[in-house]
Chain A
Amino acid sequence: MRPFDLSVPSQLMAALGPELLLMGGAALLLLWAGWGRSSMQRQRAVGLTAMALTFAVGVYVVWSLYQVRSATGGPIAVDNFRWLADVVILLGTLFALALTIDDNARQQLATAESHVLILFSSSGMMLLAAAQDLMIVFLGIEIMSIAVYCLAGINRRSARGAEASLKYFLLGAFATGFLLYGMALVYGATGTTNLADIAVRVSELNLGHSPLLLIGIAILFIGFGFKTASVPFHMWTPDVYDGSPPSITAYMAATVKAAAFAALLRVWMEAFPGEFRVWQPIIAGIAIATMIVGNVVGLAQKNVVRMLAYSSIAHAGYLLIALAAASSQSGSTVLFYLLVYTLTTFGAFGIIIVLARGTDRPVMMEDFTGLWAVRPWLALGMGFLMFSFLGLPMFGGAGFFAKWYILQAALQAPVPQTTLAVVLVLTTVVSAGYYLYVVMVMFMKPRPEGAAVPAPAPMLTRAVVVISVVAVLLLGIVPEQVVRLARAGAMKPVATVQAAPATVGAVDQ
């Protein structure tokens, strides 16, 4: 098929089809959600419709993937990486909606708006995955973040939710300031916001050592570091994750992070390949710090959600390795890792929702004690998911292949990142301390006398948990199909982008 000509408005609209469908649908759903008195039935109906809409957008995205259309240079990218990132985002959105419907019902929240906010946020994420222009990146991040700020405090009766929301909003706004300032500096140095053009200008005008540009890149990373929860911009994570409703926490931990990583990878690989030597050691250092802090502090947690918050920081560190490697494998590695991470995270939070028993109290490690004796299936599922986070083969299913892929990308990089690989495995050993602690209390401790038995999980939550556990285990045995798909999402490695600036430059007249 002919590539999209993005200078023609109608073609630009067509290239943005899935995003527009999601946004338009969400706007209509908002009308329905806000119409009349809110009730539990309406909350459920809106939620289910939102799931149907998400599924439809997902079909659209997969259809677009198989169309294999490209686009001329412009503000958005039309490539496999975008579509595959969209698939991961939409999968997370489906899971988040399913968990939120049940969680709202259990907490007696008749807020149909939460589903609409999730859809808006997801459309922002899809925009991020598509963005090939710093302005679109900013737009995507803002659409995504503002909706998530509200979602964090969607339970108005919860003081912890309000605290989380406010904290997230204030710090998020601060980080957005950095992001915007960084973009402004990059624009100031290169005179363009288009990612491909930035790369071209940098190499043509010999801006490699321009302090304006380098400071801009550094400040831009602070903005991204906040969204991806990388050390030292991670401080908000445990508090916000702990206070938000668990379904939203899973959404923040997995899907928001997926979108932020997709954009981070694209911006760095496409716009700043020329400064590779400058940012690579810094990103590598941040990856090391993130892995160490996430895993070591995770050891001390007694609250399961806070433990998973530090675990999510650690996983951000693993993902940064793929960026620091900057190899042809980085894109597919990140996609595969995010898919597995999304499945595992939503499964684990689904189980946490069951254990929270519809209350607003934090779920502690003790709640898992002796779970095997009373709810063996739940304990088994959680056990598999913990092994997946840890990355053990077979018992941890796809979690192992995700780590394997990262190791492979690190060692296959133009400059092999052996140190990062070794830090990855050593911090993984540290993480065994808390993942296996959960397994240990579930299977090796007796159930305390008088501890309440968790009620059976509602249908949708159960479906999310079952689907994620089964998918993780299946992918752990036969990953080939998914790997092949992920490899289709490979990005151009930094070296080749550097080598071929002339062809892209022709567009910039």
Chain B
Amino acid sequence: MNQFLMSIGYMHWVLPALLVIPTLGALVIWADGLRFRGQPEGDDVVSGKASSPRIIAFTTLLIEFIVSVGLWWSFDPTLVGWQAVFDVSWIPSWGIRFHLGLDGISLIMVLLTTSTMALAGLGSWTSIRKKSHTYYALLLILGMGMLGVFMALDLFLFYVMWEVMLVPMYFIIGIWGSERRVYASMKFIIFTLVGSLLMLVAVVYLGLHAKSPITDIPNFDYDTVLRTVHFTPTTSLLLFGAFFMAFAVKVPMFPFHTWLPDAHVEAPTPGSVVLASLMLKLGAFGFLRVAVPLFPDAAMNDTVRTIMLTLAVISIMYGALVSLVQPDFKKLVAYSSVSHLGFVMLGIFALTVQSVQGALIVMINHAISTGALFFLIGMLYERRHTHVIEEFGGIARVMPMFAAALTFVTFSSIGVPGTNGFVGEFLVLIGTFRTYPLFAFIATLVVIISASYLLWAIQRILFNALDKKINFHIPDLNFREIALLVPLMAGILWLGLYPKPVLSRMQVSAEHFVQSVQTRVLNTVAEGND
């Protein structure tokens, strides 16, 4: 396999190709939409107008996935440093380059994105019923933007891609969402902008700081910036704060999370899946790639670190407790995301090899399990047009396959041993226990709550008495929906039973991350003592 990939120069063109393919797909869909100009609006699925864009979009996303899968073999997990690098000049006057590359962490994130996007394309099949051309074009651009963030090695490009994915999501929530969609989309974009524009200032500052002394042209290259960041503690803290705002809103960490329930609940099913599975990961990825490595002394400063860990633990606890009382299933899952991402943040800031690896696994698991949960909720919604738990009851009797799938995915989300969820949270807790036993202890207690809110919810949905007439004849999953869920459930089992291939690909990068941050913190302390 590897030799075949080498022979076609795969590693040289794969990253730009991953950005070009969805863009071309979006253009094709847009051109296809011109055929329907002037036709009255209606239900696109019924009128057949949706058939061509969804086929084009799914084909594009499938091609994208197949192209990206080659990375799994051609990536050398033993190397530290960037692989599959693509680097061309973009705006030389400002020293901006189109520089892409992967390490183990971004490799896994890219594969996660391409696979989830393909499933999201499939999941949109019948849930998107109006303006389908625009929707599928935006979905492709959205995927392109997220891949761009994971691959960017130029801070300017990182910022551009960060904003590029914002606009399609804004429209997807605002046009195809449910009743309060306009409010939710506005809240989403304003929250994100506050963070990301502060990040813009920080990016400019870093680029100018790293400028070449000869030509006086700024330099935004990640490695160069990493070499040149030596600031006073105050500057360092302010810059870290700017990046923190951008990423903490996206994660979201506790006081910045209020956009999330609204956006998740109002977004159409595939939108919620993309938000939960991928967009939230971008925040955590930002901490791993930018905020912590560039400003280790600020991030690992005792006060800052304690604040971060406290916020993480509050997120874990708050998300779980609020989930417990949600009458709306979709909102319940949305708040559970706050809780899960709290584990990720806990792992990152505990900064042991185990906890960081655990955080990465929680990221992947959460993408798979919560993505699957949102898909299942969407399937239920298409049948009954409600998310409210009380409206259901005993539907396991009419939808046995759905019930099996939901139960299985719930187990994964709770972290039952044998599913993927167990490994990640366990590693985070063990890793954190070494450095911060108190935080680990509190977080462990919450694991019990997280089991109870989901189990209680599925009990009320699936297993209580089948007492509402409207639920007597809900059709069970169809072939497309099964095809959608099988890969997700296979992923859950695979990562639960044999996570080694994934772990080994991230191992070196995670260790490198922890070591480089620790060394640099030690160096700064040593300099301070001199």
A residues with CB within 8 A of B = 373, 387, 392-395, 400, 404, 407-408, 411-412, 418, 421-422, 425-426, 428-429, 432-433, 436, 440, 443-445, 479-480, 483-484, 487
Contacts and interface: CB of A to CB of B under 8 A. Distances in A.
B13 interface: no
Contacts of A422: 198, 201
Interface string B172-194: 00110000011001100110011
A392 B197 CA distance: 10
A404 B310 CA distance: 35
Given A425-B200, A480-B92, A483-B93, A444 B163 contact: no
A393 B163 contact: yes
B218 A408 contact: yes
Contact of A428 (B93, B159, B197): B197
Given A411-B208, A444-B174, A394 B160 contact: yes
Contact of B182 (A425, A440, A484, A487): A440
Contact of A408 (B41, B185, B190, B208): B208
Given A394-B163, A432-B190, A440-B186, A411 B181 contact: no
A444 B185 contact: yes
B27 interface: no
B164 A394 contact: yes
Nearest to B41: A373
Nearest to A407: B204
A425 to B, nearest CB: 4
B91 interface: yes
B521 interface: no
17 contacts: A395-B167, A400-B160, A404-B200, A404-B204, A407-B200, A408-B204, A412-B208, A422-B201, A429-B190, A432-B193, A436-B186, A443-B174, A444-B174, A444-B175, A445-B182, A480-B90, A480-B93
A412 B186 CA distance: 33
A443 B171 CA distance: 8
A429 B171 contact: no
A58 B330 CA distance: 60
Contacts of A412: 208, 218
A422 B163 CA distance: 18
A392 B190 contact: no
A70 to B, nearest CB: 23
Interface in B82-136: 90-94
B502 interface: no
A487 B94 CA distance: 11
Nearest to A476: B160
B133 to A, nearest CB: 11
Closest 10 CB pairs of A and B: A425-B197, A393-B160, A444-B174, A483-B93, A395-B167, A407-B204, A429-B193, A393-B163, A421-B201, A480-B91
Contacts of B159: 393
Nearest to A405: B94
Given A425-B197, A480-B93, 19 more contacts: A392-B163, A392-B166, A393-B160, A394-B164, A404-B204, A407-B201, A411-B201, A411-B205, A425-B200, A426-B194, A428-B197, A429-B194, A432-B190, A436-B170, A436-B189, A440-B174, A440-B186, A444-B181, A445-B182
Interface of B: 41, 90-94, 159-160, 163-164, 166-167, 170-171, 174-175, 181-182, 185-186, 189-190, 193-194, 197-198, 200-201, 204-205, 208, 218
B167 A392 contact: yes
A408 B182 CA distance: 34
A329 B194 CA distance: 27
Contacts of B218: 408, 412
B143 to A, nearest CB: 15
Contacts of B189: 432, 436
Contacts of A407: 200-201, 204
Contacts of B182: 440, 444-445
A174 B175 CA distance: 49
B310 to A, nearest CB: 26
Contacts of B197: 425-426, 428-429
Contacts of A483: 91, 93-94
Contacts of B194: 426, 429
Contacts of A394: 160, 163-164, 167
Nearest to B177: A444
Nearest to B159: A393
Contacts of B94: 404, 408, 483
Nearest to A421: B201
Nearest to B199: A425
A445 B159 CA distance: 30
Nearest to A440: B182
B138 to A, nearest CB: 11
A407 B208 CA distance: 11
A395 B204 contact: no
A413 to B, nearest CB: 10
Contacts of A425: 197-198, 200-201
A480 B160 CA distance: 16
A122 to B, nearest CB: 29
A106 to B, nearest CB: 24
B31 to A, nearest CB: 14
A426 B181 CA distance: 25
A77 B495 CA distance: 71
Contacts of A440: 174, 182, 185-186
A62 B160 CA distance: 33
A432 B208 CA distance: 27
Contacts of A432: 189-190, 193
B204 A411 contact: yes
Contacts of B208: 408, 411-412
Contacts of B190: 429, 432-433
Nearest to A483: B93
Contacts of A418: 201, 205
A59 to B, nearest CB: 26
A394 B165 CA distance: 10
Contacts of B41: 373
A484 B200 contact: no
Contacts of B164: 393-395
B242 to A, nearest CB: 9
Nearest to B168: A395
A484 B194 CA distance: 31
Contacts of B93: 480, 483-484, 487
A17 B524 CA distance: 62
B88 to A, nearest CB: 12
Contacts of B201: 407, 411, 418, 421-422, 425
Nearest to A445: B182
A284 to B, nearest CB: 16
A421 B204 contact: yes
A419 to B, nearest CB: 10
